[in-house]
Structure 1
Amino acid sequence: MLIILALLAQDYMLRDSQTSPVAAYGAFRLEREDCVESNPPVAVLHYAACVAKLRLTWSSADGKISALYEDDGETLTRSYRYPIRANLPDTCVLGGYYTAYRARPGSARDWRSGTKAFGLTLARCSAIEPEQIKAYQAEFADAALDYERAAVGLRSVASSMFKSLRRCTQLKYSPRHGGPDATATCTRREG
């Protein structure tokens, strides 16, 4: 009986996410999102799941463009944020790509090597003019030296938060993907 009461009591606790800055590395910001319990004035039977996360974000000087690494302990995703064009091609992935930590932290060379792909993504998917894309590419490439320190910081905090750097890089979805009984199973882990 006590177990049933404990399970019911959990439904009345509201957990909110609380974001706090961890460090800044030039144009990069490292922040963590933790779940904290709050006591709402009314009982809450259902609430959105709250998952601890770690984010490393590079932002352009004007704040219109960003590159984001987000780690929830299970998956590490890389994505770009930008103003999207009206007729978005199917080849544009807005949710991000699964990635994994490598044996060594990312280097300036790793960051610079992504400059061309970053520019191509903006050209194909964003509502930004070609001249401005070149300026954003230059700004992106200039952040390479700061990326080395930021990558070390991301790995360090992720390791202490989640106790491991292994992440799921491939998921298999159930046939009812998107339905109420849909499931996702990790089929490959790396890191």
Structure 2
Amino acid sequence: MRERRLILMTADNRNTGLVHIYCGDGKGKTTAAMGLAARAAGSGKKVLITQFFKPGNSSELKTLALNSNIEIFSEKEHYGRVSNMSSEQLAKAKSYYRTYFAGIVEKSEDFDVIILDEIISAVNHNMVPLANVADFVDNRKEGLELVLTGRNPQGELIRKADYVTMMQKVKHPYDNGIMARKGIEF
């Protein structure tokens, strides 16, 4: 019979620096990440929120930016949907997002939690190489908690993650022609 050990977690011995993935085709990936950001900031942790493929005007960012423990690092350039980009726009976007990601990595030492909203999409569209994200996950500072969101994460990222939560769409108003609503979806 194997011995069972009970590990009591206290504020002093709690494991930190885990990797979260919120993925799937359902609503809630960004919402879950922003909720974790609010929770972490409320406990005194320094949080960096970054987003890929988003213009930085989501309503939750306005509220979260009011917290002195949260920094929003938004895109300075926004290219829209990849499927609508010309080859010239794709090349510019790829260069921009690789530089943008490098800036996040450079800033990472100053934070306890980093939200990489839609980084999985950036990887899937080859805007940021999977190898760069995997290297960041592997070589981040000790204790840095990372949250990655987006659809269809690569197997390598799933293997590196400690949490993987799949948001599954069962029903969505978009299917009936109702577009995203300010304050609810963005």
TM-score range normalised by the length of the shorter chain: under 0.3
TM-score by length of 2: 0.23
TM-score by length of 1: 0.23
- Larger of the two Rg values belongs to structure: 1
Comparing both structures, which one devotes a greater share of its residues to helix? Answer: 2
Comparing both structures, which one devotes a greater share of its residues to strand? Answer: 1
